[in-house]
């Protein structure tokens, strides 16, 4: 397990105050497009509203939370109880976990239906994730840009990492402490995208 990770340290991106690794063409064991369509059909997607600055909106994407029974999570002001693993998700979890040399007990899925869906800048720093969480983010479908912005250092420019079909991005160490990330809307139409972030709730 750890051997694989050590052999691929060239995947680490040279970013101050962060530990990010990028792996293109991650092997999911099945065709990525088939898997994506299966997940779009099978996953029990939720559309929720969130209240920000006193105004209530529908979140601009669908999401779902799967995990071990004890893995409840406070996310965007919602208390999430995990749905039971389905075969497709437990199989990808095993592959991602072996690749990263880390355990995961849950996955947050986000479904960006088209170019208008997005995710605001945030860091995954909820206390249930522990101090230096390892978060493994696997993308399928349309390429969207993962934007990163340092929380304090204005000398560091925001970064834009395109995440294409079957790309695995692993965030470790102090990444969540120092950086925010998000996915902007696009002006030009694009196809659907799925993102799965595997997490360990402690
Ligand atoms: O869609 C993405 O690539 C980012 C997802 C994300 O940041 C999250 O689920 O917390
Ligand atoms: Mn996030």
CB of residue 137 inside a 6 A radius of ligand 1? yes
Beta strands in 24-178 (DSSP E): 49-52, 55-58, 62-67, 73-75, 78-80, 106-112, 119-122, 135-141, 144-150, 159-163, 167-172
Tell me the residue range of the domain where 18 lies. 2-199
pLDDT tens for 38-82 read 999 999 999 998 888 899 989 999 999 999 998 888 777 778 899
Count of CB atoms situated within 10 Å of the CB of 144: 23
CATH of the domain at 106: 2.60.120.590
Substitution candidate for ligand 1 out of 104, 107, 112, 183 with most atoms within 8 A of CB:
183
For residues 152 and 178, the answer to whether their CB atoms sit within 8 Å is: yes
Could you give the number of structural domains in the chain?
A: 1
Tell me if residue 197 falls in helix, strand or coil: strand
What digits encode the pLDDT tens for the residues 162-183?
999 999 999 999 999 999 999 9
Q: Which atom of ligand 1 is nearest to the CA of 163?
A: 3
> Strand, helix or coil at 190?
coil
Which pTM does this prediction carry? 0.93
């Amino acid at each position: 397990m750890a051997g694989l990770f050590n052999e691929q340290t060239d995947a680490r991106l040279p970013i101050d105050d962060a530990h990010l690794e990028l792996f293109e063409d991650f092997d999911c064991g099945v065709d990525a497009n088939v898997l994506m369509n299966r997940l779009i059909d099978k996953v029990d997607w939720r559309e929720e509203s969130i209240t920000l600055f006193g105004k209530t909106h529908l979140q601009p994407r669908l999401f779902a939370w799967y995990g071990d029974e004890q893995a409840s999570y406070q996310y965007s002001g919602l208390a999430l109880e995990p749905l039971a693993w389905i075969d497709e998700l437990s199989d990808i979890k095993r592959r991602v976990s072996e690749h990263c040399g880390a355990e995961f007990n849950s996955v947050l899925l986000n479904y960006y239906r088209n170019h208008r869906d997005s995710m605001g800048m945030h860091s995954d720093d909820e206390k249930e994730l522990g101090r230096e969480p390892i978060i493994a983010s696997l993308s399928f479908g349309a390429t969207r840009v993962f934007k990163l912005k340092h929380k304090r250092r204005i000398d560091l420019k925001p970064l834009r990492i395109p995440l294409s079909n079957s790309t695995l991005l692993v965030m470790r160490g102090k990444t969540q402490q120092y950086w925010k990330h998000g996915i902007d809307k696009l002006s030009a139409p694009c196809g659907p995208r799925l993102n799965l972030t595997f997490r360990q709730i402690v």
